[in-house]
Structure 1
Amino acid sequence: MIPRSWRTLATALTTAVATAMTVGAAGPVPDQYDEFGPEIAAIMNKPAYQHAQWGLLEIDEATGRVIHSRYADQFFIPGSTAKLVSVSGAWHTLGGDHRFTTPVQAVGDRDGTALNGSLVLIAQGDLTMGGRTKPDGSVDFTTIDHTYADDVPGATLTPENPLAGLDEIAGQVRASGLTEIRGDVAIDSRLFTTSPGLDPGPDPLIINDNVIDLLTTPAAPGQPAQLSWRPQIAPYQVESTVQTVAAGGTTDIAVTASPDGTHITLSGTIAADAPPTLKISQVKDPDAFGRTALIEALARAGVTVTAPPTGPNPVGALPATYDGTQRVGAYVSPVFAEYGKLILKVSHNLGANLTICLMAVTAGSHQCDGGFPVLNGFLRQAGIDPTQLQLLDGRGGNPVDRVTPRVENEILHYWQGTPEADRFREAQPILGVDGSLATACEGCPTCPGKGKVWAKPGSVVGYDAVNQRLAVGGETLGGYLDAGHGRLHTFYLAVNGASTPDIISFFDVINDLSRISGLLQEQAAA
């Protein structure tokens, strides 16, 4: 998926689209990609790749035979295929069946059904806190995740209640016999501190990905648009002046927020025939937000709190130790494999950066940067040379990030020798089926490889002001090909240095890599 730098790029896209510049007439060296077959060569020889460099490594998983190799040991900008590295490190370190237990402790003395003291939720780095969990324990996702609502058109919401985990905890507190907290409610987020290289920076407490969802639905032309938003937590207030314009008109919605993020305003227009349009606004203080959300959940469960429900998180109420305190509730997450699937299927940036922090915690560090040595250790244990990559985050959005096609293949190969082989493979987006590859076949008369390619895509794109076009620093795709008869090939495909005149042709680049992967799959299964 597109990194968050897209937000700054978006204002320039109107100019880029209007200009609709074309790539120069001079073409690449003829026949330089013939080794891949005429259909793939035709794609790689497109004008968009005139000054670009392609890399590809495809290996028969069963025999180790190299099928295709081009610049296999050269660094490429990975984009979100870096998530294959970070998720692998956390999956190996924590275990696919690891569950996060987020406890709530009663700190003080009980007086019948009242607590003379504070209730403390000890945040554990749970990515969803029940906000996406389906009844069967799996984690829900949509083709374009709500966290991309400001960056990619068509983002949608899952139907689950983003406050489900807090509601479950509140019900447990009430079931423990408490009906009154004669003190305060606090969030203990001392588990880890994020680092400057992680953007977005994770917090130990994550509710609804720490965003407010803002859904605008058109009304009749000339009428105010309808607005719904979630989760509705005090003191957050949302106002909208968005107007509905005639069918076929412009949909352009802007979101502004107060410095503390609690007062949000939507303005602009939405066409009468437009689908509901989702935007998001960042939660600036996750601990204060979570504290208020928990107090409100307690009230719904029949537990009153004497402290004001809004205001800063009372860190002074946090004890040095929880020895001698009573646990009165706990939320237990789905297994980590489900979180790994969420991160990989929708390219969840916050979750990918969170994996670095979670690895740090396993090493006894409270600084997220402590996760990188753990990642290094995983690679070495797996027999992989860590100098084949360089990372400063878990999502693939830092300018430092580089990988070789070989290291990505080696990581993919590692999983095939573990009991998690199928679960890890199926956690990747599936070409033409789900996740960020769900729409890869749209507009194509045929879709080679549909349902037979499991792969993580990645994009790094910026605006070239000199030429008024988009500069595709990197477009990548790495995963598994169904080679028939129960066989798999690992592959990593990358192109760095492409350029396109506008946003529409940028999506053509994404589809080009998807099509190449499908053609590789057909060759492998032939």
Structure 2
Amino acid sequence: MRSIPARRRTWAAAALTTALVAATTTGAAGVAPAPHDDLGPEIAAIMNKPGYEHAQWGLLEVDDATGRIVHSQYPDQFFIPGSTAKLISVSGAWHALGGDHRFTTPVQAVGERQGTALNGSLVVVAQGDLTLGGRTAPDGSVSYTPIDHTYANDVPGATLTPEDPLAGLDMIAQQVRQSGITEVRGNVAVDSRLFTSFPELDPSPTPLIVNDNVIDLLTTATAPGRAAQLSWRPQVAPYQVDSTVRTVAAGGPTDISVSASPDGTRISLSGTIAADAQPTLRISPVQDPAAFGRTALIEALARAGVTVAAPPTGPNPTGVVPDSYDGTQRVAAYVSPVYAEYAKLIFKVSHNLGANLAICLMAVTAGSHRCEDGFPVLDDFLRGAGIDPTQAQLLDGRGGNPVDRVTPRVESELLHYWQGTPDATRFREAQPILGVDGLLAFVCDGCPDCPGRGKVWAKTGTVAGFDALNRRIAVGADTIGGYLDAGHGRLHTFYLAVNGASTPDIDGVIQIGDDLARIAGLLQEQAAARGGA
């Protein structure tokens, strides 16, 4: 792991899911006495480790079948949630859309057909599909890795899924060709009128998303002293990538930086990679997703045998997008996996773009084109579920805004709500599984008797930033919430949070996350030992 630079830096991690928020806490410092806080010596020892001297802990564990409170520590106090806020935002979208909802992204032929030629333009009507086929496995599931590529610039170990990020566009292009069109005499455009984001949604959702709106840049070591090997995807004009990264001796530094032109189309990598290092991934953002998607589709059409008269690069030509599609012909459509698969992706890897997109999708279900109108939909969902929405504060979907707060109770009540629905198992299994997958895949590494392995399903979150005064990492929050296998077919819901911890470096941030995961595992063992009682 890289140590934190002396300059101020915010860590956004897949294993951490970091957001730049002031490392503040609410309430008294330290592990203050509270009802039902007899957690046992192992958990108490973790909570009293160095780095937690000024921290505030919160906990609520409830027997889901009986409602009995097992452990309770400041359950009604606000805590910075980090990415456990995604439990709320994605729940709202799941409820509004339905777990089996599929996004259908159509392509309309605007103009007259003359034999195999279209005297007009093709328009992709963007529908807010998070992956557009770029992660869809042969069985229809959505692929993910323990550390997602969207975190590659911040956390070592990010990897790529095997799928082609342009797969959905290739399928669309093939359908256009199968419709009988071989020539488009006009243009290709993206209709992005579905919704408009707002600044607090960062990363900003867009109606058309290809490869999470990033370019993947993979550097592989060669021989010491030689140029490293570079591969990148998706390769779409006019994007160009160059690299001056050199391979250094085994054990040497792997330190790769990425820079780009203002429009994002000229990308440069520099630095070093150790000869014994694993391939190292970086990403660069796509500045204009609509223009990028348009060009990517024109190139896909060419591969499918369809020519387009208009230049392939340049701005998205919104002028050819009609006011209405009445009288136009649908010549292609990409149909996504079910939304529950997207929710699983968001939960397993803490997908920030997908969580923010959930806010926009809720707005669309209410007939709005303004993403901020998703929050009233979320409010209605919570109230309908019997949950007091004033127990949470949100200004985004990912849990990265300084406004964001939750109580342990609101998270516990939400987790309980899902267990009373037909999607109970699907929602629970969409969470990372301790020691098995997602953000919790590695927490049992090197621990043969890891408590709770395979028996804790939980979303995690971290908020951390550089403390310039003390030259260390301030961990505003580390959180985990989900379900414990209490034995005999019973489940406990739990939510655990610590605000205001500190640590010397990024390795310590990861250790804090491991501490919370270990506490969760110990709580699971305690619950199972009691037979769920």
Question: TM-score, normalising length from structure 2?
Answer: 0.93
Distance 1:234 1:407, change over 3 A: same
Alpha-carbon distance in 1 for matches of 2:101, 2:46 = 43
Which runs of structure 2 are paired with 1:33-182 in the superposition (5 Å)?
Answer: 35-182=38-185
Q: Structure 2 residue aligned with 1:409, among 388, 409, 412?
A: 412
Distance 1:191 1:28, change over 3 A: closer
Alpha-carbon distance in 2 for matches of 1:295, 1:474 = 45
Report the CA distance between 1:151 and its aligned residue: 1.1
Q: Structure 1 residue aligned with 2:305, among 277, 302, 309?
A: 302
Which runs of structure 2 are paired with 1:124-523 in the superposition (5 Å)?
Answer: 124-444=127-447, 446-523=449-526
Alpha-carbon distance in 2 for matches of 1:31, 1:356 = 38
Deviations 1:23-81 (A, max 9, x none): xxxx9679989711010000011121100000000000010000000000000000000
The code of the aligned residue for 2:273 comes to: I
Deviations 1:452-496 (A, max 9, x none): 000000000011111111111000000000000100000000000
Alpha-carbon distance in 2 for matches of 1:31, 1:501 = 28
Which residue is equivalent to 1:9?
Answer: 9
Distance 1:8 1:214, change over 3 A: farther
1:309 aligned counterpart, secondary structure = coil
Following TM superposition, the consecutive aligned residue runs of length 4 or more in structure 1 with deviations greater than 4 angstroms are 27-34
2:270 aligned counterpart, secondary structure = strand
Which residue is equivalent to 1:15?
Answer: none
Distance 1:448 1:325, change over 3 A: same
Alpha-carbon distance in 1 for matches of 2:465, 2:92 = 29
Report the CA distance between 1:104 and its aligned residue: 0.1
Deviations 1:116-135 (A, max 9, x none): 00000000000000000001
Alpha-carbon distance in 2 for matches of 1:503, 1:326 = 54
Task: Say whether the 8 Å CA contact 2:195–2:364 is kept in structure 1.
Answer: yes
Distance 1:88 1:30, change over 3 A: closer
The percentage of aligned residue pairs carrying the same residue is 78
Deviations 1:203-229 (A, max 9, x none): 000000000000000000010000000
The code of the aligned residue for 1:326 comes to: Q
Alpha-carbon distance in 1 for matches of 2:420, 2:10 = 43
Distance 1:31 1:353, change over 3 A: closer
Alpha-carbon distance in 2 for matches of 1:475, 1:437 = 14
Report the CA distance between 1:507 and its aligned residue: 1.2
The code of the aligned residue for 2:494 comes to: F
Normalized per residue, the structure richer in helix is: 1
The code of the aligned residue for 2:311 comes to: P
User: How many aligned positions are there?
Assistant: 506
The code of the aligned residue for 2:277 comes to: A
Task: Say whether the 8 Å CA contact 1:34–1:41 is kept in structure 2.
Answer: no
Distance 1:370 1:10, change over 3 A: closer
Report the CA distance between 1:10 and its aligned residue: 5.8
Deviations 1:278-297 (A, max 9, x none): 00000000011000000000
Deviations 1:286-318 (A, max 9, x none): 011000000000000000000000110000111
- Mind listing any 5+ residue stretches in structure 1 that lack a counterpart? 1-5, 12-26
The code of the aligned residue for 2:208 comes to: L
Deviations 1:327-368 (A, max 9, x none): 000000000000000000000000000000000001111010
Alpha-carbon distance in 1 for matches of 2:199, 2:7 = 19
Task: Say whether the 8 Å CA contact 1:7–1:150 is kept in structure 2.
Answer: no
Task: Say whether the 8 Å CA contact 2:8–2:466 is kept in structure 1.
Answer: no
Task: Say whether the 8 Å CA contact 1:59–1:490 is kept in structure 2.
Answer: yes
Alpha-carbon distance in 1 for matches of 2:75, 2:126 = 42
- Mind listing any 5+ residue stretches in structure 2 that lack a counterpart? 1-5, 12-28
Question: TM-score, normalising length from structure 1?
Answer: 0.95
2:38 aligned counterpart, secondary structure = helix
Report the CA distance between 1:7 and its aligned residue: 11
Alpha-carbon distance in 2 for matches of 1:29, 1:73 = 16
Task: Say whether the 8 Å CA contact 1:7–1:151 is kept in structure 2.
Answer: no
Report the CA distance between 1:202 and its aligned residue: 0.3
The code of the aligned residue for 1:514 comes to: A
1:517 aligned counterpart, secondary structure = helix
